[in-house]
Amino acid sequence: MGATGGLGMASRIRIGYLGVAHGHGQAYATRFRAMEGVELTAVYDRVAERAHTFADRFGLSVAPSPDEVLRSSDAVVVTAETAFHAELCLEAVAAGRAVLCQKPLALTLPECESIVQAVERAGTFFETAFQMRYDPANIRLRELVQSGVIGKVGWVRRRHCIGVLFSPEFVTGTARWHADPAMNRGMFFDDAVHATDFLRWVLGEPESVIAEIATRLAVVEDTGLCVYRFQSGVLAELANSSTTLVGENTTEVYGDEGVIIQNHDDLVSTGPVLPANPVLLKLYRRSEAGRGWQDQGFPLPASHGERIAAVGPGFIESLRRGVPRATAWDGRQAVAMVLAAYTAAEEGRRVAIL
């Protein structure tokens, strides 16, 4: 689960793609193309037209099978529909290739665990793509919490939202697979997994959850509200919706010696509507009450897309160091937290996270 299978300072890293259904793969490819020592090789997708479109845009060859991609690559990016993640990841790991897998890791816990076990047996490099772990303000927030600057943490609130279900593309267009239970479980599964990973990354291992998941403003599941209890005793609220137009506040952390407020850390709060003087991350300390809110000095990115695209060069950096930002196990745990929320909502009870 730690440093393994990296490529060190290899002069050239060849990157192939296994599936390009998820749009984030395009953001990664844009950054890969601009990097010295990185070469895009081949792309496979079960939908031939999709593979050809991607290949034409980014200068790859089209492969008739995953094997052809694996033969020409040192590492692969898996951005297929989630239902195909386990199959493609297992093929890549068996071939000894490094992997960057788009979240969610897989549809079920047994599938996630098969990936984790395969990576452990093979000793290959594997990273789950969670862009929140690359963001400088998120890294600083985590440092502040874990350093004890705000004392003992009592509770946390995370609002993590998008507005994609207001777009016909996500309801009836080519991106509709995101909301298809057979391909991706649902929109809460698809997007809340970012926030569950973030909360666990900051707060440690979760213990249980209560939740409500509903269809309110769209024709498919669009909103989930959860309360997680962590092994430390911290309580964390998670609000995730795919029908949110705009927002501002994203994370609040309340301790007995201080408070951390983070704004503008999801799609709907990074644009298109911003306050006159946006503050991304601020800190209040009881011991320095006279200073009031202390702006931590992080500039807003030009768009949320910059955070997503940062996964590309971040993956190459992690691969060279041999230390993934988020492992297959991290991907498994994030999925476990979301699936437990579904069970809690369906059965109307607190559910342990295993």
Flag whether 8 is in a domain: no
Flag whether 331 is in a domain: no
Indicate whether 190 and 50 sit together in one domain.
Answer: no
Indicate whether 113 and 195 sit together in one domain.
Answer: no
Indicate whether 170 and 237 sit together in one domain.
Answer: yes
Indicate whether 140 and 124 sit together in one domain.
Answer: no
Flag whether 103 is in a domain: yes
Flag whether 329 is in a domain: no
Flag whether 3 is in a domain: no
Indicate whether 271 and 137 sit together in one domain.
Answer: yes
Indicate whether 227 and 200 sit together in one domain.
Answer: yes
Domain hosting 247: range is 133-301+338-352
Residue 121 confidence (pLDDT): 98
Indicate whether 222 and 113 sit together in one domain.
Answer: no
Give the Cα separation of 272 and 246 in Å (integer): 7
CATH code assigned at 165: 3.30.360.10
pTM of the model: 0.95
Indicate whether 21 and 75 sit together in one domain.
Answer: yes
Flag whether 193 is in a domain: yes
Residue 271 confidence (pLDDT): 82
Residue 11 confidence (pLDDT): 80
Give the Cα separation of 325 and 170 in Å (integer): 29
Flag whether 330 is in a domain: no
Measured CA distances, 193 to 104, 130, 150, 340 (Å) = 6, 9, 26, 12
Indicate whether 123 and 25 sit together in one domain.
Answer: yes
Give me the DSSP letters along 284-297.
EEGGGGGG-SEE--
Query: What averages of pLDDT result for each successive group of 10 residues across the chain (354 residues)?
Result: 59 96 97 97 97 98 98 98 98 98 98 98 98 97 98 98 94 92 96 98 98 96 98 98 96 98 96 91 98 97 94 97 97 98 98 96
Give the Cα separation of 24 and 67 in Å (integer): 23
CATH code assigned at 113: 3.40.50.720
Instruction: In the chain, count H helices and then E strands.
Output: 13, 15
Indicate whether 294 and 149 sit together in one domain.
Answer: yes
Residue 117 confidence (pLDDT): 98
Contact by Cβ (8 Å): 79, 103:
no
Residue 165 confidence (pLDDT): 96
Task: State how many domains the chain has.
Answer: 2
Contact by Cβ (8 Å): 142, 322:
no
Flag whether 2 is in a domain: no
Indicate whether 182 and 237 sit together in one domain.
Answer: yes
Contact by Cβ (8 Å): 321, 291:
no
Indicate whether 175 and 246 sit together in one domain.
Answer: yes
Give the Cα separation of 157 and 308 in Å (integer): 22
Contact by Cβ (8 Å): 129, 102:
yes
